[in-house]
Amino acid sequence: MSSLLGWTRPAKLSANGANALLSRGFPASSRNLGAGAPPTFPPSVVVQVKALACELPHRLQLPLSRLSLSEIRREVITQGLVAEISGTTLWRWLSTDALRPWRHRSWIFPRDPDFATKAGRILDLYDRVWQGRPLNSREFVISADEKSSIQARRRKQPTLAPAPGRCTRVEHEYFREGAWTYLAAWDVHRAKVFGRCERKSGIAPVDRLIQEVMSQQPYKSARRVFWIMDNCSAHRGQRAVDRLRSQWPNLLLVHTPVHASWLNQIEIYFSIVQRKVLTPNDFHSLQELEQRLLAFQRRYEETASPFQWTFTRKDLAILLAKIEDKGFASAA
Cα angle 4, 43, 30; round to 5: 120
Q: Within this chain, do residues 92 and 142 fall inside the same structural domain, yes or no? A: no
Which amino acid, one-letter code, is at 331? A
Alpha-carbon distance 88 to 97, whole Å?
A: 15
Q: Within this chain, do residues 127 and 217 fall inside the same structural domain, yes or no? A: yes
Give residue 184's pLDDT: 98
Q: Within this chain, do residues 171 and 211 fall inside the same structural domain, yes or no? A: yes
Alpha-carbon distance 208 to 244, whole Å?
A: 11
Give residue 326's pLDDT: 73
Which amino acid, one-letter code, is at 290? E
Question: Which domain does 51 fall in, by range?
Answer: 4-96
pLDDT digits (tens, 9 = 90+) for 89-141: 999 999 999 999 999 988 777 888 899 999 999 999 999 999 999 999 999 99
**Is 299 domain-assigned?**
yes
**Is 23 domain-assigned?**
yes
Q: Which of 207, 208, 212, 215 is nearest to 194 (CA)?
A: 212
**Is 101 domain-assigned?**
no
| Bridge partners for 252 per DSSP | 226
Q: Within this chain, do residues 59 and 204 fall inside the same structural domain, yes or no? A: no
Residue 39 in contact with residue 16, Cβ under 8 Å?
Answer: yes
* Angstrom distances, CA of residue 70 to CA of 13, 39, 61, 102: 21, 19, 17, 10
Low-confidence ranges of the chain (pLDDT < 70): 1-39, 327-332
Residue 185 in contact with residue 195, Cβ under 8 Å?
Answer: yes
Q: Within this chain, do residues 122 and 92 fall inside the same structural domain, yes or no? A: no
pTM for the full predicted model: 0.78
Alpha-carbon distance 281 to 155, whole Å?
A: 9
Q: In total, how many domains does the chain have?
A: 2
